[in-house]
Structure 1
Amino acid sequence: MDRTLRRIDKFAIWLAVAALISIMLLTCVSVTGRYFFNTPIPDDLSISEKLMVFLAFLPLAAVQASREHVFVTIFSDWLPNRAKVVLEIFGIAVGIAFFGLLAWASWIAFIEAYAVGSYTQGPLNVPHAPFKFVLFVGVVLFVVRLVVDFFSDITALISGRSQASKSEEDRVLDIELD
């Protein structure tokens, strides 16, 4: 299961990287066309805006898998490890609830955009539905990763082998010492 999720996470990251490169190339070509030929790429801003969905939502599950989200630990640094783990589990449960609702809402938005056939106003008429589906997939992958982490953290807590995520300060110190 974990191996499959890691492969999916890697694929999602590669899609996000491809979107970033596409945005960069699109912007460079459009600016060059505007400057030298007075003809930018039509709907370049709209396309870049749509591709940002790939960048923002597809890597979420991979970031969660490596526990690299920003943690606010100002009030929990003084707590023992077990209490920190309980707080992390609580945070994951809140994340499951919030992003579960977001997944449901993004699915409904995708279905509506697909049914209506909505698109951007412009020369290319870029459809909304594919990008809303990417948003849905990214959020679902994140929720799946949260659920896996939730159960693995509870199992580790019950067995007594749980370890809280490192604080930002500890991560910085680890980087500086390497």
Structure 2
Amino acid sequence: MALLGGILLLVMMAMTIVDVIGRYAFNSPLRGAGELTELLLVSLIFMGLPAVTLENGHVTVDVLSDHLPKWSERWRLALIGIINTVILALIGWQIWLHASQIGAYGDVTTTLRLPIAPIGYFCALCTFASAAASLMASFLAPSHSSIKG
């Protein structure tokens, strides 16, 4: 996934460079560059979601956890992981339903006429994978960095 993400990032960067040079040097921007950038960016973000979830890399705020007993830390992390799993599964389900509606309408991008629904399904699948990663992470032994000792 990291390699594919890096390739997508390089493609976006190259496309942006070609678009900017074409726009300002030749008064001819790259046709559909904005649409492709949007589609690649949303794909890149959702593709990284399961990896970040599995590594417990999401931003957290420790307001109460420092005041809880140390023995409760593993239970708290497991409960948070289960809650995150449910929320991610619900989000994935809603994205899937929305992609189904987009597909039923036959929505496409404005300039290049690319279908939008496959990107929605991809985002839903990545969110479901993130829910599975959250469930796995909630039952794995927490890393030393996540438990203050």
Normalised to the residue count of structure 1, the TM-score between the two structures is: 0.73
Q: 1:145 aligned to 2:124?
A: no
**Equivalenced residues, count:** 147
Distance 1:88 1:26 in 2: 42
Q: Is the 8 Å Cα contact of residues 54 and 136 (structure 2) preserved in structure 1?
A: no
2:91 alignment partner, one of 85, 90, 102: 102
Q: Is the 8 Å Cα contact of residues 81 and 164 (structure 1) preserved in structure 2?
A: no
Secondary structure of the residue aligned to 1:125 is: coil
Evaluate the alpha carbon distance shift between residue 129 and residue 33 of structure 1 in structure 2; reply closer, same or farther with a 3 A threshold. Answer: same
- What's the RMSD between the two structures over aligned residues? 2.0
Evaluate the alpha carbon distance shift between residue 14 and residue 38 of structure 1 in structure 2; reply closer, same or farther with a 3 A threshold. Answer: same
Evaluate the alpha carbon distance shift between residue 40 and residue 32 of structure 1 in structure 2; reply closer, same or farther with a 3 A threshold. Answer: same
Q: 1:62 aligned to 2:51?
A: yes
Equivalent positions of 1:164-175 (< 5 A) are 166-167=145-146
1:34 alignment partner, one of 23, 45, 56: 23
User: Where do 4+ consecutive residues of structure 1 move more than 6 Å?
Assistant: none
* Residue equivalent to 1:125: 113
Normalised to the residue count of structure 2, the TM-score between the two structures is: 0.86
Deviation string 1:38-92 (CA, Å, 9 cap, x unpaired) is: 1111121121111111221111111122222222123212433331222212211
Q: Is the 8 Å Cα contact of residues 102 and 139 (structure 1) preserved in structure 2?
A: yes
Evaluate the alpha carbon distance shift between residue 95 and residue 165 of structure 1 in structure 2; reply closer, same or farther with a 3 A threshold. Answer: farther
* Residue equivalent to 2:8: 19
Distance 1:74 1:84 in 2: 14
Amino acid at match of 2:106: G
Secondary structure of the residue aligned to 2:134 is: helix
Q: Is the 8 Å Cα contact of residues 96 and 146 (structure 1) preserved in structure 2?
A: yes
Identity, in percent, stands at 26
* Residue equivalent to 1:43: 32
Extract unaligned runs of 5+ from structure 2: none
Extract unaligned runs of 5+ from structure 1: 1-10, 154-161, 171-178
Deviation of 1:165 after TM superposition, in Å, equals 5.6
Deviation of 1:163 after TM superposition, in Å, equals 4.4
Q: Is the 8 Å Cα contact of residues 33 and 40 (structure 1) preserved in structure 2?
A: yes
